[in-house]
Copies of this chain bind each other. A is one copy, B any other.
Amino acid sequence: MIIVMKPSALPQDVDKIVDAVEKEGLKTHLSHGEEVTIIGVVGDKTKLDIQRIEASPEVEKVVPITESYKLANKKFHPQPTSFKVKDTVIGPDTMTIMAGPCAVETEEQLLCIARAVKKAGATILRGGAYKPRTSPYSFQGLEEEGLKYMKTASDETGLATICEVTSAHAVESAVKYVSMLQVGARNMQNFELLKEVGRAGLPVLLKRGLSATIDEWLNAAEYIISSGSPNVALCERGIRTFETSTRNTLDLSAVCVLKERTHLPVIVDPSHATGVRSFVEPLAKAGIACGADGLMIEVHNDPAHALSDGPQSLNFEQFDSVMEHIKPYISLSGRSLM
């Protein structure tokens, strides 16, 4: 950590800061520049109240050098994480395809979709039973009833299942029925939910918040891991920008950044990122090409009549076609389709 003093800081101002830091057992190194004095701080910064220092009137700014997340940090865990979700593996050697409807509607619908995505090569069935919707008047999901259908579909097809949870109560129900929990973009900094999800112990898919920086995202993963769930995958699903041609802007450079900063697997969701059916295939290929460990794709038996997020859902034929077309890219990436 580096503390940059203001040009107007007097020697006694510098001394005051140095004393405050050293009192906590850390060491300091001074650099007296022609314009400003800089204090390098060495040691365990968790003991230090950084905002207290930043609030001092003669401090210009505090520059952190090391990240605040530890368990999610590649520096302390250089090997890529790999974990099982039912019979499938998410990790550096596999390409995991999660597919299914945005919202679970009926048992028949879900079974029919489950069989179709399994046949095409997916190993995890996605399906929403708790839907966070912008308006209170939109369809909010089947809740526990939907989870039961997920269990039936898993039992019949052998697919693993993933479901978004939106409250402590939903977590409690979901752990009884599904293989993996999902935290949605709107809840990425719902820290109480992150802790609940971590305590549940199931593998977790953590979607990136609409305007979350990569550091905030990794700190959110840290909440889950430090609460008890080491098996966290990160899902890039588009960020909010000024561009309105696509629903969000898929940030594939984030995949590259994550691969440098964390050992956790990264999933790309081209369906939610763009909201446009015809962009799913090219961006699925792009996601694989730049290093993703898996894809999340929306599939529906009848997208034109889906209760939620129809415009981006693929029908079975389209999903089959995408799966066929991405296979050579999976081979090129040196992974096997899981």
CA distance A122 to B144 in the complex (A): 47
Q: Which 6 pairs show the lowest CB-CB distances between chains A and B?
A: A55-B310, A31-B40, A211-B211, A29-B31, A285-B289, A186-B189
Of the A-B pairs whose beta carbons lie under 8 Å apart in the complex, a sample of 21, sorted by A's number, is A2-B31, A2-B38, A31-B40, A36-B66, A38-B40, A52-B307, A56-B304, A60-B65, A132-B189, A133-B191, A135-B219, A136-B191, A136-B227, A168-B168, A239-B241, A243-B251, A245-B254, A245-B257, A252-B252, A282-B290, A283-B290
CB distance from A137 to the nearest CB of B (A): 6
Q: How many copies does the complex hold?
A: 4
| Contact bitstring A2-43, B, C-beta under 8 A = 1, else 0 | 101001000000000000000000000111111110101111
Q: Which residues does chain B contribute within 8 Å of A240, judged by CB atoms? A: 211, 242
Determine if A112 is an interface residue (Cβ-Cβ < 8 Å): no
Determine if A187 is an interface residue (Cβ-Cβ < 8 Å): yes
Q: B329, A289: Cβ atoms under 8 Å?
A: yes
Given known pairs A40-B31, A239-B241, the reply for A260 and B283 (CB within 8 Å) is: no
Q: Which of A91-99, A113-121, A272-280 contacts B (4 or more CB under 8 A)?
A: A272-280
CB closest residue in chain B, given A213: B243
Q: A52, B256: Cβ atoms under 8 Å?
A: no
Q: Which residues does chain B contribute within 8 Å of A227, judged by CB atoms? A: 136
CB closest residue in chain B, given A326: B289
Determine if A128 is an interface residue (Cβ-Cβ < 8 Å): no
Q: A305, B239: Cβ atoms under 8 Å?
A: no
Determine if A108 is an interface residue (Cβ-Cβ < 8 Å): no
Q: B246, A55: Cβ atoms under 8 Å?
A: no
What 9 new A-B contacts, CB under 8 Å, besides A246-B256, A285-B289, A288-B289? A29-B29, A36-B65, A63-B63, A68-B134, A168-B169, A211-B240, A213-B245, A215-B245, A249-B249
